[in-house]
Amino acid sequence: MKKTFLSLMTLFLLIAISGNALGASCESCHSSRTPSGGWIYHPPVITLLHDPFYLPDTDVTVRLIITPASDYSISSLSGELGTIYGSLISTGPGTPGVDPQGNKYIDWTFTAGGVGESILIVDVDYTVYYKHKTPGTMDSASYFDRIETTVIVADLDLSISPGTLIFEKEREEKEIQLTATSDVTDIEVILHGSLEGLVTFSQPLVELSDGGSTTITVTVLNRTNIISFMTIKWLEGDVQREIKIEIVITDPGDGGGSDLLGEVGKYTGIAAAVLVLVGFFTGGTSRLKTIANKVFGSAKKRIDFHCALSFVTLILVAIHFATLFYGPFRNLIFQWEVILGEVAMLIMVIISLNGIFQKKFIKLLGFQNWRRVHAWGSYLITVLVSIHMLLYGSHFVWFRELIGY
């Protein structure tokens, strides 16, 4: 009865903490209203993808891609290629498609003419379908945007690909491949100031001989919505060359409000981490158990509290895993920082069964072996949860920046 009561109280507090996420009001998905009374939503990121430059008389592919936030989807996308300033020659109409992440795109192909810059202008029409938490009468809306990009045709000695990097997850990595077609020196990467603290990158080789290659690994540290660039410079003989690589970081958030699964998963994780630490110090293997006995009045009351706390912790961990697995982090379950949390959850299940069926396991293993399993399992859980929380928890970005992770 005590366990049930404590479980219900914990879940009640969790709901209260996550009230913003659980609310069905429009404010939970939209940050504010327009002057005319309409809701402002979290706009998608629309960009044109292509290599940083192309050799003369080669094929050029430019992709229009749209990446929405998590509280809506793109039900239709169309793009009309406007004026082309420069030497690119269009070879046909755009070809629509859907990438592996489910984002809609349109590809255009061109033939590169002479050396120079070409400016492409695209008029974009798209329809947004809102994933309302409560049924609404206005579930879709149409929008228009106009974007442009510059395609460079040049005969350079350093091939660089791709020209645009799109990041949709924290700690996501992308690679830029550099291949020399002649000797190049003084290769340098410069990050635009707007990306400081948001991304980090590995330094490439300073020089390459004909046919040599090197890779730049770019990692996003914090999710936000930004389109910026990094510059790659090098020398061809005595001539300075440079190319800009577009960096697109999208926050799969929810328009300034709270995503139900993401918020519940976050707060259950925080609550479970706190209870793991409390449970560790109130357990029978803790060196502080004598102090805990005095706090609770007796060893029996301490043990009853520890058992109830462990039961509630396991419930919170299960909710934490389920909400994030079926929510915004489904594609990240094999990232090693996340695997640490998953291993800790499995050990929690083993330790819980070890405690619930204590008499049977003591009879099977003997008291000392039973106690060792319980003790070392508790140590492992505490260590794994702490590392998981510090290296992946949304509230510990400051710690990862402090240690340069």
Closest by CA to 253, choosing from 244, 245, 262, is 262
- For residue range 217-267, what is the model confidence (pLDDT) as tens digits? 998 887 677 788 889 999 998 889 888 888 888 765 444 434 566 677 788
Dihedral sign of CA atoms 378, 381, 387, 392 in order:
negative
The confidence score (pLDDT) of residue 233 equals 92
What whole-number distance in Å separates Cα of residue 343 and Cα of residue 333?
A: 11
The pLDDT value recorded for residue 8 is 46
Name which residue leads in pLDDT, 229 or 404.
229
pLDDT at 184: 92
| pLDDT tens digits along 39-91 | 555 667 788 888 888 888 888 888 888 877 655 678 888 888 876 778 788 87
Residue 76 confidence (pLDDT)? 84
Cβ(123)–Cβ(82) below 8 Å: yes
Tens of pLDDT, residues 302-328: 888 888 888 888 888 888 888 877 655
What average pLDDT is seen over the chain? 78
pLDDT tens for 99-127 read 887 888 899 998 887 788 888 888 888 88
More confident residue, 373 or 141: 373
Whole-angstrom Cα distance, residue 32 to residue 37?
9
Whole-number pLDDT of residue 17:
47
CA–CA separation, 381 vs 272, rounded Å?
11
Q: Which amino acid is at 46?
A: I
pLDDT on residue 213: 92
**The predicted structure's pLDDT at residue 251:** 65
Cβ count near 12 (within 10 Å): 10
Q: Looking at residue 163, what is its pLDDT? A: 85
- Please list the alpha-helical segments (H only) found in 210-259: none
User: Using 50, 70 and 90 to split pLDDT, how confident is the model at 139?
Assistant: low
Q: What are the residues whose beta carbons fall under 8 Å from the beta carbon of 328, sequence distance 6 or more?
A: 70, 252, 259, 261, 262
Average pLDDT of span 373-384: 86
User: Which H helix or E strand runs over 64?
Assistant: strand 59-67
Provide the 8-state DSSP code for 54. Answer: B
pLDDT in tens, 256-298: 434 566 677 788 888 888 888 888 777 776 677 778 788 888 8
Does residue 189 surpass a pLDDT of 50? yes
The answer to whether residues 338 and 392 touch, using CB atoms and an 8 Å cutoff, is yes
Q: What does the pLDDT read at residue 151? A: 85
Domains of the chain: 2-18+258-402 (no CATH), 36-155 (2.60.40.10), 158-256 (2.60.40.1230)
